């Protein structure tokens, strides 16, 4: 799951080559379905685009299975799976370039929920309400998941396949060497820093604490990094009562000060490591399983690296690693923090075979297939029938812990302006982590950038209460 230098066209040559390859493939005819109110006009060829980055193959294998199932049930139809091999930032850029033209638009795209409103505004996505109204499975989806797939116009633009929460993963073996408890439950930011400092002193050669930061990690930096800190203060990104973006907040400065502290004291990775676009993959497939990292502020899905089908099978992970909630700044409020996101299957507005695409989405989201993906992909289920499945509930020791965090979780303001605001968050983080700006300077620059993006009349210095 994870979040972006989205508005810059990085890797234009690579994108151009990708678009040429996509446009060279025929779309085929459209299949009318009962949901669309028409009769069948024959088989259709459809394309499904998703992000493939790093060594993991869970999504690749899942889509291959669904393709076989769909083609067997729809003789003559062909499903072309189009992996976009790119880091998260570049994936969004490439996907948007593809969706701009009917010649290159896929029929189904894997869409991050935080982008739905900005992509609706750009005219990239097709509303799915006419399909969903006659789909009995829709009643199985939790209301919060449905809400994450809605646009500001009240229409639904995607079918969620899972959600996630975030917390602290920690290595009990490293903790034992540092004299720290196996049942670690920090209550404040200072408790987290104290543990990281002890590890640096007593267990040399190990990275004490990883908090994603900087532009290459994109939304992982904004969401899993600064926002996991910010929402532990008394401040927020957006005031929903006033419908204004928050600027001038002490919580934002304090969050940047936390970033400064861990990098200045050397209890975080080296800045050049954090600025590696592959850093997120390295955390899951190398640093944690090989005992090179003690504490990781990361997502519920992380263990999919260590399953039999993962990039780094590691049967012992559930015994070696513990999980604990990220505390609030001073232990106040709810005492713990989590942020949630999620992905959806969406149909581009310029798809040539939207009805066939909908039929394939229904194949992806049968109870059986949804359960398989939630289990193999280490997702928090968004369907009630999947959440109740015994195989899913017992698939990993961490499942219940991360599911319980849903009770305190926060969702990003998934507004059209958010991707641009997110980019300014990671710009501020990078300036602080590399020593180019003080936290106060970076916060001031962030405030000015947000005012420029949304307009000064759409900003406030008052956060909503937690």
Tally of residues, the chain: 466
Which helix (H) or strand (E) segment holds residue 133: the answer is none
Distance CA 267, CA 190 (A): 13
- Residue segments in the chain with a per-residue pLDDT below the cut of 70: 1-42, 465-466
**SS3 letters for 161-197?**
EEECCEEEEEEHHHHHHCCCCCCCCCCCHHHHHHHHH
Buried b (16+ CB within 10 A) or exposed e, 270-309: eeeebbebebbbbbbbebbbeebbbbbbbbbbbbbbbbee
Q: Is the dihedral of CA 168, 171, 174, 180 positive or negative?
A: positive
Other residues' Cβ atoms within 10 Å of the Cβ of residue 153: 10
Identify how many contiguous H helices and E strands the chain contains and give both numbers: 21, 15
Distance CA 62, CA 443 (A): 42
What SS3 class is residue 428?
Answer: helix
User: Is there a contact between 246 and 235 (Cβ–Cβ < 8 Å)?
Assistant: yes
Distance CA 227, CA 229 (A): 5
Other residues' Cβ atoms within 10 Å of the Cβ of residue 349: 18
């Amino acid at each position: 799951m994870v979040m972006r230098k989205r508005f810059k066209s990085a890797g234009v040559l690579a994108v151009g080559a990708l678009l040429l390859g996509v446009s060279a493939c025929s779309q085929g005819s459209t299949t009318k379905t009962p949901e669309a109110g028409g009769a069948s006009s024959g088989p259709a060829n459809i394309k499904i685009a998703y992000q493939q980055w790093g060594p993991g193959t869970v999504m690749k294998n899942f889509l291959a299975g669904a393709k076989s199932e769909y083609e067997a049930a729809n003789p003559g139809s062909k499903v072309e799976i189009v992996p976009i091999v790119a880091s998260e930032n570049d994936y969004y850029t490439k996907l948007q370039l593809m969706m701009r033209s009917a010649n290159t638009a896929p029929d189904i795209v894997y869409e991050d929920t935080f982008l739905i409103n900005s992509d609706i505004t750009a005219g990239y996505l097709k509303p799915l309400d006419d399909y969903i109204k006659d789909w009995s499975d829709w009643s199985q989806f939790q209301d919060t998941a449905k809400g994450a797939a809605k646009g500001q116009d009240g229409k639904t633009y995607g079918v969620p396949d899972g959600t996630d929460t975030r917390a602290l993963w920690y290595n009990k073996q490293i903790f034992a060497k540092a004299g720290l408890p196996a049942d670690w439950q920090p209550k404040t930011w200072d408790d987290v820093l104290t543990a990281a400092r002890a590890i640096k002193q007593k267990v040399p050669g190990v990275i004490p604490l990883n908090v994603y930061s900087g532009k290459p990690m994109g939304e992982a930096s904004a969401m899993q990094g600064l926002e996991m800190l910010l929402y532990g203060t008394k401040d927020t990104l957006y005031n929903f009562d006033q419908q204004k973006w928050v600027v001038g907040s002490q919580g934002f400065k304090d969050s940047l000060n936390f970033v400064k502290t861990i990098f200045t004291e050397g209890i975080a990775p080296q800045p050049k490591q954090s600025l590696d676009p592959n850093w997120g993959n390295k955390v899951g497939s190398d640093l944690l399983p090989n005992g090179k990292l003690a504490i990781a502020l990361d997502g519920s899905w992380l263990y999919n690296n260590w399953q039999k089908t993962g990039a780094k099978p590691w049967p012992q992970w559930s015994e070696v690693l513990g999980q604990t909630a990220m505390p609030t700044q001073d232990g106040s409020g709810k005492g713990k923090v989590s942020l949630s996101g999620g992905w959806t299957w969406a149909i581009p507005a310029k798809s040539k075979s939207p009805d066939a695409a909908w039929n394939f989405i229904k194949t992806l989201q049968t109870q059986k297939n949804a359960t398989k993906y939630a289990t193999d992909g280490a997702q928090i289920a968004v369907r009630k029938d999947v959440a109740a499945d015994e195989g899913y509930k017992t698939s990993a020791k961490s499942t219940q812990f991360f599911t319980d965090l849903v009770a305190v979780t926060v969702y990003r303001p998934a507004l059209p302006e958010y991707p641009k605001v997110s980019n300014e968050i990671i710009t501020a983080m990078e300036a602080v982590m590399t020593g180019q700006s003080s936290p106060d300077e970076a916060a001031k620059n962030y405030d000015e950038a947000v005012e420029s993006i949304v307009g000064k009349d759409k900003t406030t210095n008052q956060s909503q209460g937690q």
